[in-house]
Structure 1
Amino acid sequence: MVIEWRTTGDIQSDGQTPKRAAEYVRMSTDHQQYSTDNQATAIRAYAEKRGFEIVRTYADEGKSGLQIGGRDSLQQLLADIDGGNVDFEAILVYDVSRWGRFQDPDEAAYYELRCKRAGITVHYIAEQFENDGTIGSSIIKTVKRAMAGEYSRELSVKVFAGQCRLISLGYRQGGAPGFGFRRMLVDERGQHKGVLERGEHKSIATDRVVLVHGPEEEIATVREIYRLFVEDSSSERQIAEWLNGQGILSDLGREWTRGAVHQILINDKYAGHNVWGRTSFKLKNRHVRNDPSDWIRHDQAFPAIVSQELFDQARRIIEERSKRLTDDELLAMLSKILKKNGYLSGLIIDEFEDGPSSSAYQSRFGSLLRAYSLVGFIPDHDYRYIEINRALRRMHPSIVRDVIEGVRAIGGSAIQNLVDDTLTINDEITASIVIARCKLTRSGFRRWKIRLDESLRPDLTICVRMDEDNMTAHDFYVLPRMTLVEGVLRLADHNGLSLDAFRFDTLDGLFALAKRVPFRQAA
């Protein structure tokens, strides 16, 4: 929202003409207490004190600051500046976090730099520093930008952990209940409070949502779908046509499609299992299709509509369809789907008549992305990092073996804990091994993000930093526990003596630490 207006009076009491300014306000979804009205009030007080006349307002209400997408007013502000369509010389913002909680501090700096190049200064009116370009203000501003992004990262981790815990307890986390189910609101004691209709949400923090059976006619329809598929060998398309012929609408009030029937046949909730995390959209970055091993599930979380045996029979039929086809036949069919639709997605594949499901391609080729690449299709987004992460997970056991063999070669001992993959070295020191994927920033700088399992608390954490191609190890950090105060460690090429003192080009540095020497020699 962009508003043009002027404060009363064009001339200050001291006779000087006020400096013209625009204000940018944003109310985020995670900090509702910073309302746009409160920001505007503080900005006007600052403007009056500093001799600014506010001539235009750019407001993004209810918008997250994680990215510029969706923030129409900030985009309009930058477009006006780039196009020279401005009648002001300054932009007043409440604080650094209102400008944005960008995960890359350089992105926030880039948008401010576009303003500066046009001769327009940015004022953060609630901050304790002047944004005047001095070394001190630049350092503080950079730290503030990093803190703003880190707040969102920490909040994301906490929210995700809370969601995982609720799933493990059998509670529903978001999404429509699906045909045959309803969302039931329960209190902290598990007592039912009533069914939530479409579009309704819980309003009390301690309330939770569970799935319960819907109307009897929907339950009977779901069971008939499974019977037709398993016992009568009807295809998903035939079942959809039968449902539409009976005048039965889906849970969305629409006619049935092959894909809609297919989803009922493969969704674990119809066997009573609570499964969450098939995809993720953390920090509004990218939608990611997670590996099944990373899904969060609670079996028998709510009453099943079909038996586990019947559900497994349907699943086996679907899997057998793809097993009868060779890899070349599967890819030929995928090419046909691409040619017909001009695009590929899991939903498009599932809707294709008499073809295997998207999960079959994922199982056969390791991922949908690999199958896409084999038929020459490149998605709009770059999802190569998913493949890289999977490759690094496969690499982890070999690095663990290398460490064990290296320690033993110099006369020490190393025992692997098969539960959490930690190592006990020389019966004294515990060590954990993590692999960090290399990521290039927009400016071409290398960055590594290392996620640490805070529940392990090993004495040493061996961080393997991969090279730019993520094919071989670039170097190693052997970090003692005292250096790891947070669950996420972010590294650049140079990280200061406090961290780089623990950097090694090879694992020989670790082996030297583990080498046993006679007591007399050590003395």
Structure 2
Amino acid sequence: MSTDHQKYSTENQSTAIRAYAAQRGLTIVRTYADEGKSGLRIEGRDALRRLIDDVEGGSADFDVILVYDVSRWGRFQDADESAYYEYRCRRAGIEVEYCAEQFANDGSPTATIVKGVKRAMAGEYSRELSAKVFAGQGRLIEHGFRQGGAAGFGLRRMRVNQHGERQGILGIGEQKSLQTDRVVLVPGPPEEVETVRWMYRAFVQEGKPEREIAETLNGRGIMTDLGRPWTRGTVHQVLINPKYVGHNVWNRVSFKLKRKRVRNRPDMWIKAEGAFAGIVAGPLFEEAQRIIADRSRRLTDEEMLRGLRTLYEIHGRLSGLIIDEMEDLPSSSTYGHRFGGLLRAYRLVGYSPRRDYRYIDINRSLRRLHPEILAEIITGLKTSGAVVQRNEDTDLLTVNGEVSLAVVIARCKETPAGALRWMLRFDNGNDPDILVAIRMDARNERPIDYYLFPRIDQTAERIRLAEENGLSLDAYRVETLDLLYELAAPVRIRAVA
């Protein structure tokens, strides 16, 4: 369960499961419960992981697993993931029964169809809930309420009730206790407020850079809101944050449905100007932003890369924090905007970060592999006697002047559960008569099989392939392209007769 305020609380589930067991003469010997955990990902689901380990490790002292309903495996965005965990239990010889469902989990076609629908519905529920929560949070931002995050130096979080009456300052790590309460930002202690104003004046009016401001603050014994010494980066964050002029800004970064964290474009931000009392004058703040923007605009691409290359030689590595700490370089966000992402800027100066970016190399390798596979297919067609023409712009093949072929490579991806998946996009723009889809192995080094889709069945823009897909998809699967070559071989009319 993810919250206490729902029918899926572990207590309610336990009651229903015990009643189900009593009616059928089953004895419950062990309980696995993930309390207060999101079902969107397997990460954090320690009890579910322990269940799978016990089942597959042979230490299970039970014959049946009782689950409240299909959605309790998880509200995964990939419906096959919850099916995968059930499959692993059944493969180990442990039956799975659902206590609150209206069907028997007996492997019948009806049960299979219903479970598939319910798994998809569980994922859709999370998507709809995410959209509703996002809209609600956006409305609260527009009304001037804070949606998480530390207040920052010079500001404090104030708890207010539903009537807007102040209820007290929240300390670091404290949260409001009532759902109807809200949080707003208010000016902090006078000495902190004056320090923030001095930082802006020193930067705008006196021309002091961020590093010099940080050194001055540290020399005065002033610490950040987290009790740490000031750095060039922490001063920079104060100078660019619109909350100091009273603007409430949200959705600069998204992390929806526990997926990849993305930095949104400014036009996607939700902003309420003058939502609360600012501690810095608007013109002073705007002038600080202009200075920061002009500082990066003066540099050419080559000058920016030269500075980044020098920084790499000094530190032996690069990161956003290291870049932001350099006084004479633009910020890391400026590098990202100028060069289409920090990773590309790193590559231009010869730096490869330790983080796993193998998917980029895989995509690059597959792009190199595509012409080779295309040449092999052309050779195979010609060997069978077919006449093949290739469109140099689209790589579309025309066989015997009658049939067009498009060749696509499906990269293999591993889900968090360890299952393999392939995303296949139909090349509808070229409208081929036959789409030859090549499914790569787990290392994306060589083809493992092929799918031949005729135009009449290319109805969707994309499909997701699993290791086993059922007759509806695997009917198009072949181990080799020999069938394609045989079909392409020209046959004399006399021989047919």
TM-score (norm 1): 0.66
Q: 1:164 offset after TM fit, Å?
A: 1.1
1:193-223 per-position Cα deviation (integer Å, ceiling 9, x unaligned): 3222222323333332221111110110001
Q: 1:278 and 2:270 equivalent?
A: no
Task: Please give the residue correspondences for 1:126-205 in structure 2 after superposition, counting only pairs within 5 Å.
Answer: 126-205=100-179
Retained in 2: the 8 A contact 1:369–1:383?
no
CA, structure 1 residues 301+320, in 2 after alignment: closer, same or farther (shift >3 Å)?
same
Q: Distance in 2 between matches of 1:373 and 1:120?
A: 50
Give the Cα separation in 2 of the matches to 1:227 and 1:124.
Answer: 66
1:85-104 superposed matches below 5 A? 85-104=59-78
Percentage identity across paired residues of the two chains: 61
Could you give the per-residue CA deviations for residues 386-440 of structure 1, whole angstroms, max 9, x where no partner exists?
A: xxxxxxxxxxxxxxxxxxxxxxxxxxxxxxxxxxxxxxxxxxxxxxxxxxxx999
Q: Which residue of 1 aligns with 2:22?
A: 48
Which residue does 1:481 correspond to in 2? none
Aligned position for 2:485: none
Task: Give the conservation status (yes or no) of the 8 Å contact 1:30–1:64.
Answer: no
Partner residue in 2 for 1:325:
299
**SS in structure 2 at match of 1:363:** helix
Q: 8 Å contact 1:28–1:64 — kept in the other structure?
A: yes
Query: For residues 198-250 of structure 1, what are the alpha-carbon distances to aligned partners after superposition, in whole Å with 9 as ceiling and x for unaligned?
Result: 22323333332221111110110001111222233222222222212211121
Match for 2:341 among 355, 364, 367?
367
Distance in 2 (CA, whole Å) between partners of 1:364 and 1:331 is: 11
Does 2:201 correspond to 1:231?
no
Match of 1:119 among 93, 96, 114: 93
Checking the alignment, whether the CA contact within 8 Å between 2:73 and 2:85 is kept in structure 1 is: no
Instruction: Please tell me whether residue 84 in structure 1 is matched to residue 58 in structure 2.
Output: yes
Q: State the Cα deviation string for residues 111-154 of structure 1 (Å, max 9, x = none).
A: 11111221122222111111111110111111111111111111
Measure the CA separation in 2 of the matches of 1:239 and 1:215: 20
Separation of aligned partners in 2, 1:371 and 1:300: 36
Q: 1:364 to 1:382 in 2, by over 3 A?
A: same
Query: 1:399-414 alignment to 2 at 5 Å?
Result: none
Instruction: Report the 3-state secondary structure (helix = DSSP H, G, I; strand = E; otherwise coil) of the residue aligned with 2:88.
Output: helix
Query: Residue 275 of structure 1 aligns to a residue in which SS?
Result: strand
1:221 aligns with 2:195: yes
Q: Which of 1 and 2 has greater Rg?
A: 2
Query: How do 1:426-441 and structure 2 match up within 5 A?
Result: none
Q: Give 1:167 deviation, angstroms.
A: 1.3
CA distance in structure 1 between the partners assigned to 2:357 and 2:258 by the alignment: 13
Question: How far apart, CA to CA, are the structure 1 residues paired with 2:190 and 2:335?
Answer: 35
C-alpha separation in 2, matches of 1:51 and 1:133: 22
Distance 1:338 1:286, change over 3 A: farther
User: Which residue number in structure 2 is paired with residue 421 of structure 1?
Assistant: none
Give the TM-score of the pair, scaled to structure 2. Answer: 0.69
Matches within 5 A, 1:386-465: 444=421, 446=423
Flag the 1:493–1:58 CA change in 2: closer, same or farther, 3 A: closer
Measure how far apart 1:336 and its partner are.
5.1
CA drift of 1:257 comes to 2.0
Equivalents in 2 of 1:473, 1:240: separation in Å?
59
- Give the superposition deviation at 1:38: 2.7
Structure 1 333/87 Cα, relative in aligned 2: closer, same or farther at 3 Å?
A: farther
Matched AA of 1:50: R
- Letter paired with 2:277: P
How far residue 254 of structure 1 moved from its aligned partner, in angstroms, is 1.9
CA displacement at 1:373 relative to structure 2: 4.7
Query: Which string of whole-angstrom CA distances, capped at 9 and with x for unpartnered residues, describes residues 338-388 of structure 1?
Result: 56667655334323454321221133224334434544546547998xxxx
Q: Give 2:398's aligned residue.
A: none
What is the aligned partner in structure 1 of residue 9 from structure 2?
Answer: 35
**Distance of aligned partners of 1:270 and 1:108 in 2 relative to their CA distance in 1, 3 Å threshold:** same
AA of the residue aligned to 1:273: H
CA contact (8 A) 1:94 1:125 kept: yes
TM-aligned CA deviation for residue 103 of structure 1 = 1.0
In the alignment, is the contact (CA less than 8 A) between 2:240 and 2:289 conserved in 1?
yes
Alignment equivalent of 2:185, drawn from 198, 208, 211: 211
**For the structure 1 residues 259 and 339, does the alpha-carbon distance in structure 2 shift closer, same or farther, using more than 3 Å as the test?**
same
Structure 2's unaligned 5+ residue stretches are: 361-409, 415-419, 433-459, 465-497
Looking at structure 2, the residues matched to 326 and 30 of structure 1 have their Cα atoms a distance apart, in angstroms, of: 55
SS of the aligned residue for 1:138 comes to helix
Tell me which residue corresponds to 2:47.
73
| Aligned-partner Cα distance in 2 for 1:187–1:37 | 31
Task: Report the CA distance shift for 1:154/1:284 in structure 2 as closer, same or farther (over 3 A).
Answer: same
Decide whether the 8 Å contact of 1:182 with 1:211 is kept in 2: yes
Distance in 2, Cα, partners of 1:167 & 1:133: 49
Q: Which residue identity is paired with 1:218? A: E
C-alpha distance in structure 1 between counterparts of 2:17 and 2:214, whole Å: 59
Aligned pair in 2 of structure 1 residues 160, 382: CA closer, same or farther (>3 Å)?
farther
Alignment of 1:497-508 (within 5 A): none
Aligned residue type for 1:192: R
Which of residues 220, 236, 253 in structure 2 aligns to 1:246? 220
Aligned partners of 2:3 and 2:9 also within 8 Å:
no
The residue number in structure 2 matching 1:262 is 236
Amino acid at match of 2:217: L
- Asked if the contact 1:446–1:468 (Cα under 8 Å) also holds between the matched residues in 2, the reply is no
Structure 1: give runs of 5+ residues left out of the alignment. 1-26, 385-437, 448-466, 476-489, 495-523
Partners in 1 of 2:429 and 2:41 — Cα distance?
32
How many Å separate the matches in 2 of 1:165 and 1:241? 40
Query: Secondary structure of the residue that 2:65 maps to in structure 1?
Result: strand
**Partner-residue secondary structure (3-state), 1:56:** coil
CA contact (8 A) 1:440 1:468 kept: no
Residues 1:110 and 2:88 aligned together = no
